[in-house]
Amino acid sequence: MVRWRGVIRSLIPVMMLFFVLPALVVFATFYWFGFTTDSFLVIFILFQCYIITLQVEIGLRQTAVREAEYAPTLRPKVSHGMIGDHVWAKVYLENVGKYPAYNVLVGLVDKVKNKPVEDAAKKEPKTLSAGESVSVFSQELSKYRSMHIQMNVLYVDVLKIIGEIHFVKYPDAEEFMMYLSLQRHGILLRCLDDLKLAYSAIKWSRILKKTQK
């Protein structure tokens, strides 16, 4: 089911940037200067600014894609081991990619207590080459399963760019899941992406209605 409230909310910046703002500029230009050469020159400059902005944003997005190719691929790994008569969970951070990660810092936050997990906070920065892993913390298995943990990882890649990854483990689960805050470069490109997503939502909504008849 499509959540139309979110679709409409995402379309508001699109309408403002691509329809309302140009319409206001065109109306104000013709109102103050009339249908003159200067008026058409102002409108031409406006659309030229849009085109230049889009070209710059496309270049930034392509640069981000190229930089991401050299980023390490870090994943949490959970294993079990016996300590005395109890089973313990041991959490590692492993570099499963082909590029190293330098100055890796791992922070764990207990989301229930809203406090950092001290075992992880005491770790020194590490360098993880491809295939290497580092121990993050360990906990008795039953207690570990009941915990709600957020893992925040900071690193420096081969291009000397600081990267950040976030993982979360929910109660009654053992494995961590990666979650990302979506960061899209640019303003106009983001609006065009939202417009494309809105069109897809409308298209699929119509297809679903037809299949339900």
pLDDT by position in tens, the chain (length 213):
445 666 677 778 878 888 888 899 999 988 888 888 888 898 899 999 999 988 888 888 888 888 888 889 999 999 998 887 889 999 999 999 999 999 999 989 998 888 888 666 556 788 999 999 998 888 899 899 999 999 999 999 998 888 889 999 999 988 999 876 556 667 777 777 777 777 777 777 676 666 665
Spacing of C-alpha 103 from chain mean position: 22
CATH 3.30.565 is held by the domain 74-179: no
Q: For residues 162 and 102, what is the distance between their CA atoms, to the nearest angstrom?
A: 9
Q: What's the whole-model pTM score?
A: 0.65
Single-letter code of the amino acid located at 162: I
91-107 residue pLDDT tens: 999 999 999 999 999 98
Q: Where are the domains of the chain?
A: 13-69, 74-179
- Give the whole-angstrom CA distance, residue 24 versus residue 31: 10
pLDDT digits (tens, 9 = 90+) for 168-184: 999 998 899 987 655 66
